Amino acid sequence: MNSASDGERPILVFIHGGGIGPWMWADQAASFSHDFAVLTPTLPGHHLNGQSSFSTHTGAAEAVADDVGLLELPRPVTVIGFSLGGQTAIQLAASYPDHVERLVVVSSLTNPWPCATALGFLAAASAPLSKPRRFAQAQAAQLSVPEGSFEDYYALSRSMSAPTLRRLIQANFSFAVPDKVLSSSRPLLLMAGNKEPARLLRGMEDLHSKVRNSSLQVHEGVGHGMPLAQAGLFNTSLRHWLEATATA
- 39: alpha, beta or left? (left if phi > 0; alpha if psi -120 to 50): beta
Residue 79 forms part of a structural domain: yes
Domain residue limits at 103: 11-113+176-244
Q: What is the pLDDT of residue 59?
A: 95
Residue 168 forms part of a structural domain: no
Q: What is the pLDDT of residue 176?
A: 94
Task: Give the residue ranges of DSSP H helices in the chain.
Answer: 26-32, 57-68, 84-95, 116-125, 133-142, 150-159, 162-174, 179-182, 198-210, 226-229, 231-244
Number of domains in the chain: 1
Strand partners of residue 106:
82, 191
Q: What is the pLDDT of residue 135?
A: 65
Residue 149 forms part of a structural domain: no
Residue 43 forms part of a structural domain: yes
Residue 44 forms part of a structural domain: yes
Please compute Rg for the chain using Cα positions. Answer: 17
CA distances (Å), origin 45, targets 52, 164, 229: 5, 6, 24
Exposure on the CB side of residue 14, measured as CA atoms within 13 A: 25
Q: What is the pLDDT of residue 147?
A: 78
Please report, as a single letter, which amino acid is at residue 39.
Answer: L
pLDDT of the chain along its 248 residues, tens only? Answer: 555 555 689 999 999 998 889 999 999 999 999 999 999 999 998 887 766 788 899 999 999 999 999 999 999 999 999 999 999 999 999 999 999 999 999 999 999 877 655 454 455 445 444 566 766 777 777 777 777 778 887 777 777 777 788 888 889 989 999 999 999 999 999 999 999 999 999 999 999 999 999 999 999 999 888 999 899 999 999 999 999 999 85
Residue 6 forms part of a structural domain: no
Strand partners of residue 190:
105, 216
Residue 100 forms part of a structural domain: yes
CATH of the domain at 91: 3.40.50.1820
Residue 214 forms part of a structural domain: yes
CA distance 182 to 70: 22
CA distance 188 to 181: 9
